[in-house]
Amino acid sequence: MTRLTGRCAVVTGGSRGIGRAIAAALAEAGAAVAIVARGAEALEAAAAAIERDGRRVVALACDVTDPRQVADLPARMRTTLGDPDILVNNAGGADTHKLLDHPDELWERMLRLNLTSVYWVTKALLPSLVASGRGRLINVASTAAKSGARYAAAYAAAKHGVLGLTRSLALELASSAVTVNAVCPGYADTPMTAESIERIVSRSGRSADDARRALESTSPQGRLIRGEEVAALVCFLAGEAAAGITGQAINVDGGAVMT
């Protein structure tokens, strides 16, 4: 198992789903972890659940779509856990709509949440990652960043942007010993996917079981990915053994997308 003792990590969108699994795995590996999300109550509950057996976890309520709140993160980190050397940009969400009559508000919101927030948080915390001499920047993208997604043009476009940002920063930061990578989950067994199932049911009239099976069938393994599987990859990329891996976008999707 990757050991991260003495490391300090920030995980955005860390109160539920894949983000919570990542935060738990990093803490289990020995890192001090700050989980960031908008909902203070859910955030505190997640931190309390993860923080056991000597693990150090703090909850930092912050809306990553608000640049003023993001600008305060470095100082808040410094007064709680210290300067981070691991940043996991996981916050995001997917709303769908056909492009015909696509609401401009939805387009702008999806880009702000899934792409622009990554820019803001990275810009705020990157000086700490560089100064550490062993920084790890890991962006949670999606297989939609490689293959597109029907009725999810805004979400897929934003996630494609995350890959472009990942690759550009990997080149820019290569000489600083900071690695920059993306992980690309397929459909995962998370609250976000549960919300997608609810939308399918409401718009198609299919049962929830049918909708879930339709998502499962997108994977050759015939199942949804577990958050812990994504978290294991993130932990590896955060460790010393992954020092030579940068600029990569690695799928965790049961073989659905092979690029």
What is residue 1's predicted lDDT score, i.e. its pLDDT?
A: 66
Confidence of residue 48 (pLDDT cuts 50, 70, 90): very high
Q: CA 250 → CA 221, 253, 259, distances in Å?
A: 17, 10, 9
- How large is the average pLDDT for residues 70-94? 97
CATH ID of 8-186+226-243, from 3.50.7.10, 3.40.50.300, 3.40.50.720, 1.10.940.10: 3.40.50.720
CA 172, 176, 177 angle in degrees (round to 5)? 110
Would you call 151 a catalytic residue per the annotation? Answer: no
Q: CA 183 → CA 6, 28, 141, 142, distances in Å?
A: 24, 20, 6, 7
Q: Is the pLDDT of residue 194 over 90?
A: no
Tokens representing 230 are 């994504």
Residue from 119, 151, 155, 187 carrying the catalytic annotation: 155
What is residue 193's predicted lDDT score, i.e. its pLDDT?
A: 86
Q: Distance (Å, rounded) from C-alpha 216 to C-alpha 195?
A: 15
Strand partners, 152: 97
Strand partners, 31: none
Q: Give the domain ranges of the chain.
A: 8-186+226-243, 187-224
Higher pLDDT residue, 199 or 7?
7
Higher pLDDT residue, 196 or 188?
188
Q: Distance (Å, rounded) from C-alpha 146 to C-alpha 132?
A: 32
- DSSP one-letter code for 184: E
Q: Distance (Å, rounded) from C-alpha 48 to C-alpha 9?
A: 17
**Tens-place pLDDT, residues 214-253:** 899 989 999 999 999 999 999 999 999 999 999 999 999 9
Q: Is the pLDDT of residue 25 over 90?
A: yes
pTM as predicted: 0.94
Mean pLDDT of the chain: 95
Tokens representing 114 are 């899934």
Confidence of residue 106 (pLDDT cuts 50, 70, 90): very high
